[in-house]
Structure 1
């Protein structure tokens, strides 16, 4: 699936400067939750939840220079996570109406999704179909996407994909699973990550189709959360000209309205 990992996973970019312990899931989010529930980690059975602390999710996978580079991505994800947590805490329409709408920098949040994937691979904190693969080096392609300021190809990035489910996952914490495609009968390539933030599912895909097709749910302009007559919006800000799909509307209890 990938080559064994050693040292800073961004070392091919140069300028490495000392070893650090990197929280591949943002420390600010972890401290908000602590102690918190987790899913998808290698010490857990598939589909089962457990608990963890911020210190248990830090690994020596980046040098200080490259670790510091990721702070803006962490801040944007923490901003979104805190807002989702507040939405979940508002039980009535009146309580929900007190919350403002927010705008999230979509590119920064996409990079955070990729940061989590690279960190989970490099630290060995993931499983596929219940199998633990150990520490794997993220590809130079993914590392370049994460650290360089080049525009990503259309079709790579954030997706809101509920897979036709009638209800969201009610899990209140953090959970994730890698997204992979089979390249042969016995090998697979990790191409993205599914992350559940406070019950809300987000998917980051970092490869594109050869024919240039874009999957449904790509870079949504917003999410809407509904409680009674009250709607609260989470807007995503994207570069000019970005192709966007329709947005998802969710009720307070996690039901996805029937659009038929």
Structure 2
């Protein structure tokens, strides 16, 4: 079964990517409220879109609220508890919103796996079993791009610009809707070695990256304390002087470990590059204290 759907030549595991193109024929409509209007393939209506995936927010919600951080309407360094309904904006027509929904489903599965691993480590300790799950890495980084576009277009990301009607560059839209790949060295980065996690901070954190010359060029997104970085401008080949110097580009997967047990989320990539995994270790004593 795995061989038929995900095992490629050379032994590489890569599931089929999510299809995010709108169905033919094109509509010829440019809905001025949709940030993908440049394609002239909109529907006439505008949907109220969760710029952070609704399914993801439901997973992170506790007693109807979600802990968030990093948005400009929060005080600096302040963690707020809000309803998922607060993280919405009229930024996509229903046609483009529906086309991107498979990316929301993929990231929900990723968080479910992270949640499952945390739960098993906390409540089972040494009695748990090794586990392995497979996701398409390009879908995860395209979801990050969707989140960045939605947050900026809705006015919920700090970019320090006078531009009141920001729209994603056409190149970004082509990547998001599956027409083009990310440029070299752009896309997903993850901390390559996280060891001895003392606790798990539940919630969603978002920080946009921007400068006065290039504008918006990326974001950092945290899911339950696991930090992902999206680069839409290629970092230098030598990362030693950059803030992502300890990050892996397009990690092979996330390897969660406690003692001799490991649970893995494997990311499949279709770029022909070598990939190294990221390891997240847990302290037995500290995890036991959370029981």
**Considering the TM-score relative to the shorter chain, is it more than 0.5?**
yes
Length-normalised TM-score, structure 1: 0.82
Which has the larger displacement, 24-33 or 83-92? 83-92
Query: Are positions 1:201 and 2:231 aligned together?
Result: no
SS in structure 1 at match of 2:140: helix
SS in structure 1 at match of 2:131: coil
Aligned-partner Cα distance in 2 for 1:49–1:133: 27
Aligned-partner Cα distance in 2 for 1:136–1:169: 38
Query: Are positions 1:94 and 2:126 aligned together?
Result: yes
Equivalent of 1:232, from 240, 246, 263? 263
Asked if 1 retains the 8 angstrom alpha-carbon contact of 2:192 and 2:277, the reply is: no
Gaps of 5+ in 2: 1-31, 240-246, 285-291
Q: Count how many residue pairs are aligned between Structure 1 and Structure 2.
A: 240
| Structure 1 residues 39 and 165: CA distance shift in structure 2, 3 A | farther
Aligned-partner Cα distance in 2 for 1:133–1:165: 41
Length-normalised TM-score, structure 2: 0.74
Equivalent of 2:74, from 34, 44, 47? 44
| Structure 1 residues 13 and 168: CA distance shift in structure 2, 3 A | farther
Root-mean-square deviation (CA, aligned residues, Å) is 2.8
Regions of 4+ moved over 4 Å: 131-135, 162-170
Q: 1:235, CA displacement in angstroms?
A: 0.6
| Structure 1 residues 144 and 58: CA distance shift in structure 2, 3 A | same
Partner of 2:6: none
Equivalent of 2:205, from 170, 175, 182? 175
| Structure 1 residues 106 and 16: CA distance shift in structure 2, 3 A | same
| Structure 1 residues 214 and 208: CA distance shift in structure 2, 3 A | farther
Aligned-partner Cα distance in 2 for 1:83–1:161: 18
Partner of 1:28: 55
For the pair shown, which has the larger CA radius of gyration, 1 or 2?
2
Aligned-partner Cα distance in 2 for 1:138–1:169: 36
